[in-house]
Amino acid sequence: MCFLALLLDIGLTVILWGAFAHGYGEDVSQFGLDDARFSGRIFIAINTLWVGAAVSVRISIILLCVRIFPLRQFRLASWLVIGLNVLTFLSIFLASFLICTPIYYAFDKTIPNGRCGDQRKFELFTAIMSLLLDLLLVVLPLPMLWRLQMKKKKKIQLSFVFGTGMM
């Protein structure tokens, strides 16, 4: 899974280089029509690669924790979180393609009878789910950590180390 995340991140980096060369990240008033179309075309790829890489990293970390804490309840909870990650990825992937009909309307607003769903809500959903899944990733191993036989101070320190992953 880590290797998949690496490949997705490399693909994302290459696509973003092209995007920034076409004005991605600049003020909309600086965009030409060709730049706007190019940005619209690569939005789906950027979103899919970013979410795919984030999900791959999360699943890798969860699978590592499953190997460290092989308890039945923890494995069950871990697989539920993995399933939630996969479902979130699939929903974002599908929404990226289906938010505009026809799909080309996302980057060419001159197409007659085209329409798009609320893209701000879609971006908000993506951000909230990413934050919640990251939070689940941090909280998931904490009960196992607190069951370890070590001093309370050490448990607090380890909890802090896990929690810094959220920052």
63's CB contacts (< 8 A; 6+ apart) are 1, 78, 82
pLDDT at 136: 92
pLDDT at 146: 84
- Are the beta carbons of 69 and 144 closer than 8 angstroms? yes
Q: At what angle do helices 33-68 and 119-139 cross, to 10 degrees?
A: 20
pLDDT at 28: 67
pLDDT tens figures, 122-135: 999 999 999 999 99
Does the predicted TM-score (pTM) go above 0.75? yes
Q: What are the phi and psi torsion angles at 100 (to 5°)?
A: -120, 140
- Are the beta carbons of 85 and 59 closer than 8 angstroms? yes
In angstroms, rounded to a whole number, what is the distance separating the alpha carbons of residues 35 and 20?
Answer: 10
Residue 47 has pLDDT above 70, yes or no: yes
pLDDT tens figures, 103-154: 888 777 788 898 989 989 999 999 999 999 999 998 898 888 888 888 888 8
CA 79 to chain centre: 18
- Tokens 């974002």 sit at which residue? 92
Q: What are the CA-CA distances from residue 113 to residues 15, 104, 116, 120 (Å)?
A: 30, 12, 10, 21
